[in-house]
A = this chain, B = another copy of it.
Amino acid sequence: MKQYCKFESALDILIGKWKPVILLQLIANGAMRFSELQKAIPGINKKMLTQQLRELEYNDIVHREVYHQIPPKVEYSISEYGQSLGAVLQVMNDWGTAHIDHMNMLYGAEDRSEQE
């Protein structure tokens, strides 16, 4: 029996190269339009943004407000339910910060993630 599948369900929300960035943007800025997100996240393209957004939307983390008009306008925002993710994000961010510190302690200032 798969006890860990619950775990993976939670993980499933956050995995994906752009999920955390999108969530952080939405949390920080509230509702954002498609183009707003695209501008706020350098290096992303429409396909990726749409894809990740749809997954987030499917999981009821973000809410999509569609304005069927010309010009088309779509706003994305964190849903009520999605805000419960904030605590999880907080814990992970906190641990992640401590972890980076711990890594630096072990291996020095080596940056194993990426460099600007």
> Quick one: copies of this chain in the complex?
2
B92 x A88 contact (CB < 8 A):
yes
Contact of A29 with B by CB under 8 A: no
B21 x A96 contact (CB < 8 A):
no
Looking at chain A's contact residues, the main secondary structure is helix
How far is A18 from B56 in the complex, measured between Cα atoms in Å? 23
How far is A24 from B2 in the complex, measured between Cα atoms in Å? 11
How far is A54 from B97 in the complex, measured between Cα atoms in Å? 21
Task: Chain B residues near A98: list those with CB within 8 A.
Answer: 84
CB within 8 Å of B: which residues of A?
1-15, 20-21, 24, 59-60, 81, 84-85, 87-89, 91-93, 95-100, 102-103, 106, 113-114, 116
